[in-house]
Amino acid sequence: MDKFNPFNFSDRIGRLQYFGFAVIWVIIIIVVVGLIGSGIDPYGQVGAGGASALFLLMLVHAIATLSYGVRRLHDFDKSGWWYLLTFVPFANFVMAPVLLLAPGTPGANRFGVR
């Protein structure tokens, strides 16, 4: 089992690990945003510390999501550049179920063994 490494773009991950990452990551974001949101003053403004924390959370989230998406595509023996389709309207409705449900290449491929 692979450890959480949001800066690894070269390995492969399976469906279950990708789904687990998505679920755990959503829970982490909900908790952190809830904690930061509890520090909002009555006028709806977040302090400088809260804004910095949200920015760092968004940055780590973007890198981790990109990393796990690319690694999931590597499991199909596809280039990580295919992940750009998630930014195309209507193509992202096809990519999301493919990443979550499609089986990967059995055995070894050019991106390694899972």
**Crossing angle for the helix pair 15-37 and 48-75, nearest 10 degrees?**
170
d(CA 44, CA 37): 9
Residue with tokens 């295919």: 82
List the chain pLDDT tens, one digit each, 114 residues. 456 677 788 888 888 988 988 898 889 888 887 777 666 666 666 666 667 777 888 888 888 889 999 999 998 888 889 999 888 999 889 988 888 888 888 888 888 887
d(CA 53, CA 38): 13
Name the residue ranges covered by the structural domains of the chain.
15-107
Give the pLDDT confidence score for residue 37 in this predicted structure.
67
Q: Is the pTM of this model over 0.75?
A: yes
Which backbone phi and psi does 90 adopt, to 5 degrees? 70, -30
Give the pLDDT confidence score for residue 70 in this predicted structure.
92
